[in-house]
Amino acid sequence: MQVNLPPFLFYAIGSMLIVFGALRVKYLGAARLRRRPADEETGGEAAVGRAAEPEERLERGPEQRRHVRWGMIWILLGLFLVGSTFLQLRRH
């Protein structure tokens, strides 16, 4: 038994994987500002008489790296689905 599914279904799913993978990389995988706690800055002693701003720096934690990795996997899966559907249709 052979089931023929319309190719636009595969194009739509592949396009969604590409778009949502790119959005995942851009928004969830972006480096975030990390602040050093005041305790770490002064060695555990409270800063008396001064209001020091904690140092801010861009940093990508393990959660962001995971989102970048899986976003790239989604993009590659979407490209494979679109490309293989296109090649399959050209053969027939």
DSSP letter string, 48-79: -S--PPPPEEEE--HHHHHHHHHHHHHHHHHH
The structural domains of the chain, with segments of one domain joined by +, span 14-91
Phi-psi region of 49 (alpha: psi -120 to 50; beta: other; left: phi over 0): left
Q: For the beta carbon of residue 51, count every other beta carbon within 10 angstroms.
A: 6
Question: Can you list the positions of beta strands (E) in 12-53?
Answer: 32-35
Global pTM reads 0.71
**pLDDT digit string (tens) for the chain, length 92 residues:** 888 899 999 999 999 999 999 999 999 988 877 666 655 555 555 555 555 455 666 777 888 899 999 999 999 999 999 999 999 999 97
Q: Do residues 58 and 29 lie in contact, with contact meaning Cβ atoms separated by under 8 Å?
A: no
